[in-house]
A and B are shown apart, each in its own frame.
Chain A
Amino acid sequence: MKQFLVFIRKEFFHVFRDRRTLLIMFGLPVVQIVLFGFALTSEVKDITLTVIDQSGDVNTQQLIRKIKSSSYFIVNETSVDYNDIETAFKKGTAKSALIFPPNFGNDLQHGGKAQLQLLTDGSDPNIAKTVVNYITAITTAYQQEISPSQKLPYTILTESRMLYNEEGNGSLNFIPGVMALVLMIVCTALTSVSVVREKELGTMEILLVSPFKPLLVLIAKAIPYLLLSLANFILILVLAVFVLDVGIKGSIVLLFLESMLFIITCLSLGLMISNTTNSQQTALLISMMGMMIPTMIFTGFMFPLENMPKPFQIISNVVPSRWYFLIVKSVMLKGLGFSYVWKETLVLLGMTTVALTIALKNFKTRLS
């Protein structure tokens, strides 16, 4: 036991003396959170909307005020001529424009029907669609407001709610994704490199000649990274809660335990890689290419898995982070209990067993 502690102490020395490793470990989650949280947001806010009001009556003014008061638009009322609007789009000075024809209010009040034109920049379809949706919603609301007494024979109102995320906060989806990604990179890459480094330096030989048990070498290598990863996990969680306002709805204990399981899965993968390679570069390359890219693509937080062709959906099943992502989403965002995530937990347990078995088997054959 004492030998074991001596070994773990040594591993911590390695980690803390290697500034690059430390930077990767704790810089990565911070950078990821900031990037995904602020730079890569999928919400559309503060869109510049050029308004050309050729009518200038009460109705158009009321409608424009409504649009202004929503947080989605910055209304630009500089009087651009209707004929110049296309040039503005070409130059990129306008991304969306709302045009009220002359007599808008008159038509609405006397004819009971008025038209307005909404132009959007289709080269950015995401924003264009969002603009259309927002403006439609605002005009519909306005329409009901000015004619409440007017009873239509049949009305269907779609009352939509985004469950678990009423405000459409984009952070909610990627936080579990970032957690999966960071833990995957830190655990898998760093563990595999740390074992292979000893092989390269020749210290592994010394360790194998010593009375220290080979199995313990593996465990002692993994433990510091387990602890550091847990610290990392807590860091991400703190950032998520206090910087990005993502609440934890479910049990923190369950979330912690499931994360520990996922970390162990990643550590096992790292050990598996390190025992089948002989150079740090190979180990790093395999863990980056073989783990990071599939994690980005097949976890489901960047690209929806449901839209992928069937073969890719099947491939995604072997990516551990995919299951962890589901677990975190269920527990953290929906507040579900263990009875909802036991299947995913079982899958992770199975993957860990397989990876560890392969790791140990390879470690033994190297000794004979």
Chain B
Amino acid sequence: MSEAKSRSSAFIEARDRATDYLVRRHYLRWTEALPWLVAVACFFLFPNRMTFGSQVLIMIMFALSLDLILGYAGIVTLGHAAFFGIGAYTVALASLRLGWSEPISGLAAAGVIAACVGVVVGWFILRYRGLTLLMLTIAFAAMLQESGNLRSDLTGGYDGLPGLMFDPLLGTFQYDLYGHTNFWYALAALAVVFYFVRRLVYSPFGQTLTGIRENVRRMHAIGSPVHLRLVTVYAISAGIAGVAGALFTQTNAYVTLTVFDFDSSAKVMVMLILGGTGRLYGPFLGAAVYMVLEDYFSKMSPTFWQFGIGILLVLTVLFARRGLLGLAEDIGGMRWGGRAADAAPRRLVWKPEHWKALGASAFDGGVLGFLVGFAVNMGHAELMTAYVTGLPAQVAVFTLGGAAIGAGINAFYLLLTSRSAVEGQAS
């Protein structure tokens, strides 16, 4: 009897904690002011880099739109640049062909048009998943780009539409050379969009999306109109991407068909993944870090930067699947939660399979070194169009070096993951 009672009170307590969480989770926390303070601080710290600053804000908005469908609803797309491009061309063409140069109403129009296209496209393609969906999104963006090129008399093709003019903001603020007006304009637009997205993801509608992402069959079973929900969020996301695209055109006064590039879709996804998906501030961190790194490294060497993106992606997938924000949380958790374990001495229990792992790493390192050695030699030979001597020696050095590095990394990894004495006995 008493056991049953205590169980039920524990149940009530647990339920209260659960409901508490649901009631409180959308409350504003003080940390949420940080990104905005940083943005304002950047304005005063780097007043000469504000053209770049507004580009960062635009990419944050674009990544935020992707987060809504990818992070919350689980729709994998490699063609989101389609809607960014639609928004970008809406304001460009409206200004150039219709003489509609008022910026804020232009943003709204771009958002509405992109959202309408999103409804139609989403209605057709969101019935599919996996590779089919991926291919359909790629095909849609590519078709828009090719049709744009077909009507290059209208769109300017890959040469673009330069020298677009827009009316002063709110009829009073002129655009300046340093992009100060543009920065505040982009920041204000981002704040409005962010407020909307935040409301959305904490609403019951946002909760349905997470449900669909986690278990679509169960959502069907409890009677949720899955397709309708997905199309709705797809359209909203398309609209936001359209607004970001329109801002892009307005702040650059220039647009080309490259906005529809596959690279552009892939880039925004990388930003989002880097920051962390399915969280509101992932796009902020991801886009800012990516843009700053790109600005720095691609000036140094575009090739080097491309290699950097590749490594960033591989490392993120292998070691930080929840992005930089997730990584920060993990490190924070380690510091506060892992103290007792850290205090205990580490002990590595050597097992036969460790030899095997070490050997495999050395082998892979060797293979990689062998290939790099060959590539270096071939590359030299190719550039000088002559056979470079010393091939065997060079390849041998690279192979042995690679093997040593591979084994070294493996040994380091073993030490790193070796359990502390206390934990080791427990497991």
Q: Do A and B bind each other?
A: no
